[in-house]
Amino acid sequence: MTTDLPTAPKISVIGAGAWGTSLARHLANKGFPVRLWAFEPEVVEAIQRKHENTVFLPGVPLPASLMVTGSMEEAVDRLDLLIFAVPSHAARSVLRQLGTLLPYAVPIISATKGIEEDTFKLISQVMQDVLPSYLHRTILVLSGPSFATEVCQDQPTAVVLAGQETSRVRSLQGLFMTPHFRVYAGSDMTGVQLGGALKNVMALAAGAVDGLKLGHNARAALITRGLTEMIRLGVACGADPKTFYGLSGVGDLVLTCTGPLSRNHTVGVRLGRGERLADILKDSHAVAEGVRTSKATAGLAHRCKVDMPIVQAVCAVLFEDKSPRLAVSELMERAAKEEAEG
């Protein structure tokens, strides 16, 4: 099976949140024919009428060449490349629709940063569950420190694309590259996905630290120990620990735990200030993936017998009404141990 793409590949982006829309815009601006599928009729209408995703990416003009549709059949008709950017909680149901509409092998890039809540599976594993077997080796994953708004402002951004076949990764790597958007190649799909998912959980914790006004020392310690937990779980799941020192690991972790554009960090800040999770989530159209991912991560850690005290503390705050200040105190008062232990 060839890994070569046509000179002007027909690209479909499934999922019109901020990240999916920014990727569609990026590729359309490079001159590729791009179709963007949106679940929400109001998003389709806004892009068709105003050339702007007023719901998830307001204030960002979209090229007139970018086609948007609410029809899955229309979105994937005769495509050469599919980019999947659907929130993790909806991934399986949308993939079931896609599976019946892709009669031939095409590259599929997962740009979703999350873990399925009920099964604790990565999105590539959900794809393998649902999609026909001839598509399994065509699956790749894209992750890294990449706020959608900054990508749309042509701010310098670097991400990593990982897949099973080096030739396919190399081909698609060049497809995305611009002077402002750099793509590195990788092969550790498990590590890249875990890095992109787990950093959202740590961003909730870092936000809570900031909401409590506990200072820069505390946030730095939280990020560092959070990375340790990410590596611990990654190794248990078969990932290369070196992946977590790259863009999809420490790169995305630092960005999401410190950047004011991070939805997960913002949710954490509001939790630290004493707001209730239900009230916070009511205020936002956008998905804070870390909320669902925290529960999935705790389940995966339990299955793998991996100790993740920060993740457990986040879950206690989110789902057991534990005070964020008490959760931080309990983390600080744990028994003394070696830094490299466990």
Which residue in 152, 145, 121 sits closest to 195, CA to CA? Answer: 145
As a dihedral over the C-alpha atoms of residue 176, residue 182, residue 184, residue 189, rounded to 10 degrees, the angle is -60
- Asked if 269 and 207 touch (Cβ cutoff 8 Å), the reply is yes
Sign of the four-CA dihedral 167, 172, 178, 179: negative
- Asked if 146 and 117 touch (Cβ cutoff 8 Å), the reply is no
Strand ordering across the sheet containing 11-14: 67-69, 34-37, 11-14, 81-84, 108-110, 139-143, 157-163, 181-186
**Which residues are identified as catalytic?**
199
> What is the rounded distance in angstroms from the CA atom of residue 254 to the CA atom of residue 227?
10
Beta strands in the chain (DSSP E): 11-14, 34-37, 67-69, 81-84, 108-110, 139-143, 157-163, 181-186
> What is the rounded distance in angstroms from the CA atom of residue 237 to the CA atom of residue 338?
23
- Three-state DSSP at 117 gives coil
List the structure tokens of 158.
């670097």
- Asked if 29 and 60 touch (Cβ cutoff 8 Å), the reply is no
Residue 78 falls in which region: left (phi positive, over 0), alpha (psi -120 to 50) or beta: left
List the structure tokens of 202.
């740590």
